[in-house]
Amino acid sequence: MKKTWWKEAVVYQIYTRSFKDTSGDGVGDLNGVTEKLDYLQSLGVDILWLCPMYKSPNVDNGYDVSDYRDIMDEMGTMDDFDNMLKNIHSRGMKLILDLVLNHTSDQHPWFLESKSSKDNPKRDWYIWRDRPTNWESIFGGPAWTFDPKTYQFYLHLYTKNQVDLNWENPEVRRALYDMIIWWIEKGVDGFRVDAINHLKKDLSDMPNPEGRNYVPAWEKMTNVEGIQDFLEELRDETFAKYDVVTVGEANSVKAHEIEEWISEDNGKFNMIFSLEAHENWDANLDPDHNVVRLKEILDRWQRSAQGIAWNSLYLENHDRPRTVSTWGDDKRYWKESATALACMYFFMQGTPFIYQGQEIGMTNAPFDDIKMYRDVETKNFYRYKRKQEVPHEELMATIKKVSRDHARTPMQWHSGKNAGFTEGEPWISLNPNYRWLNVEAQEKDEFSILSFYKKMIQLRQSYECLLYGSTKLAETDCPDVYAYIREYENTRILVVSHLDSDGCHWSLKEKGQLLLANYSHLEEHKLQPYEARVYLLE
């Protein structure tokens, strides 16, 4: 397998809006990223992934782009971006941007032209129909909106303000390719490509035996036959011409399909983000989640990629609730479960991604009032379910588990005013636990979650086995223990993560040198609640 810089890197995702505000308007900005580069460098990460900072009305916090070649007003200017990029590169780090190619804002000049008349040259840049299909949008409600001026409907898989581009039109594709090349030549080092499996649509109705107004239409809008042709052209016209890294958000892709998506011979991206493990273990979706199923899924991805492709490794991102609150125990075993989960995913074969705040164990926010939430998906979910007469208390119980806003509360830098995020009024409320859960407190504690992440990064950089070695599950006779062996040439490393609040009888079957642990006192024949260990085997 080819060795590359991005396989050996650790990526840190920045949700810029919630990272650090320097202007006092309560919204994180590019200068805030620049201000915190020393912190990120001290953590040991190599690549920064920046969520959308393009010009946008912010209906979906930047994922509704109104100008791909300009900067959102709240986040600064293009000069600020250039200065940030210069400072990132001067520290030996790289930058990847979020790339939104499925849709634009309804305020993008392309769409304003498209909707102006049926005979406008850009009319076919978006998807218009006299009669809509019966699809439900991903964020709830109809996937089509009527335009009274031209008397047609336009398609939007997300909100009505995020209008789907018509990828069947070669002019649209060319305009997007030119934009991508513009950013690459500006100096960015790669892209995370949003919602990439939705580019091809099968514009036909879904079966509707129940006579519903709108029907979920995942198979009509996801991985539709012909999408690989689009992705191949996208790769060949842009990414393949440069030394950049690409990560496609392709939620529905399964392990047996990775060859055409990410294989080194035929893949369209270097890595993809899949949701299979999260969908099968999130407590809100699967009350009977268990480690056995998690191991089965992640091991399948490891085995399927071995020798032909490369995995992305992640626990959290801007679309997921905090893992320590859903997969772990953020009350009794907050520190232990945060570090055990970290150890579990971080040392598999692949490139690890850390989402901002994950490295200090940030938790879900205790927001009890729907008015405290800002996410358009959360608000739409609440509104549509209330129309269906689902009780308020039931909806709030779900939202408190799954809302994307849990990942979007401001970064907790210290225990002072607004956690050091802003001098103004934060755009979304802080998690009140910032008074004790913050970067400053953990930087002073050698046994903190932050210190554990630094040790993991240093350990991964110290052993080529943890980069390019094979991954094989190890048996421990404990169903709640996730253990695997990495092997490369003459080196073997055992990773053990106990993902439960009960103790577990276990003993090391081979001699080994302890490299890392999240408990200071280890019991010889027992794993303690949420205990993690890493051994160099003899």
Convert the pLDDT of each residue in 123-175 to its tens digit. Answer: 999 999 999 999 999 998 999 999 999 999 999 999 999 999 999 999 999 99
Which of 495, 476, 479, 526 has its CA nearest to residue 289? 479
For the chain, 538 residues long, give each residue's pLDDT as a single digit of tens: 899 999 999 999 999 999 999 999 999 999 999 999 999 999 999 999 999 999 999 999 999 999 999 999 999 999 999 999 999 999 999 999 999 999 999 999 999 999 999 999 999 999 999 999 999 999 989 999 999 999 999 999 999 999 999 999 999 999 999 999 999 999 999 999 999 999 999 999 999 999 999 999 999 999 999 999 999 999 999 999 999 999 999 988 999 999 999 999 999 999 999 988 887 666 444 545 588 889 999 999 999 999 999 999 999 999 999 999 999 999 999 999 999 999 999 999 999 999 999 999 999 999 999 999 999 999 989 988 898 899 999 999 999 989 999 999 999 999 999 999 999 999 999 999 999 999 999 999 999 999 999 999 999 999 999 999 999 999 998 999 999 999 999 999 999 999 999 989 998 999 999 999 999 999 989 999 999 999 999 9
Radius of gyration of the chain (CA): 23
Task: Strand 190-194: give its sheet, edge to edge.
Answer: 271-273, 245-249, 190-194, 94-100, 47-50, 11-14, 351-355, 312-313
Encoded tokens for 419: 């956690």
Annotated catalytic residues are: 194, 249
3-state secondary structure 62-114: CCCCCEEEEECHHHCCHHHHHHHHHHHHHCCCEEEEEEECCEEECCCHHHHHH
pTM: 0.97
Distance CA 74, CA 26 (A): 9
Encoded tokens for 453: 């992440």
How distant, in Å, are the alpha carbons of 64, 184, 246, 447 from that of 178? 19, 10, 17, 48
Distance CA 278, CA 319 (A): 11
Question: How high is the mean pLDDT of the chain?
Answer: 95
Encoded tokens for 100: 């939104």
Contact 329, 501 (CB under 8 A): yes
How distant, in Å, are the alpha carbons of 127, 220, 264, 474 from that of 482? 46, 36, 28, 8
How distant, in Å, are the alpha carbons of 315, 407, 436 from that of 361? 12, 11, 11
Give the DSSP H or E segment for 491.
Answer: strand 491-498
- Amino acid 194 reads D
Encoded tokens for 105: 């804002």
Cα–Cα–Cα angle for 53, 48, 352, nearest 5°? 130
DSSP state, residue 128: E
Residues 6+ apart with CB under 8 A from 494: 474, 483, 484, 485, 508, 510, 512, 533, 534, 535, 537
Distance CA 201, CA 2 (A): 35
Encoded tokens for 344: 């579990």
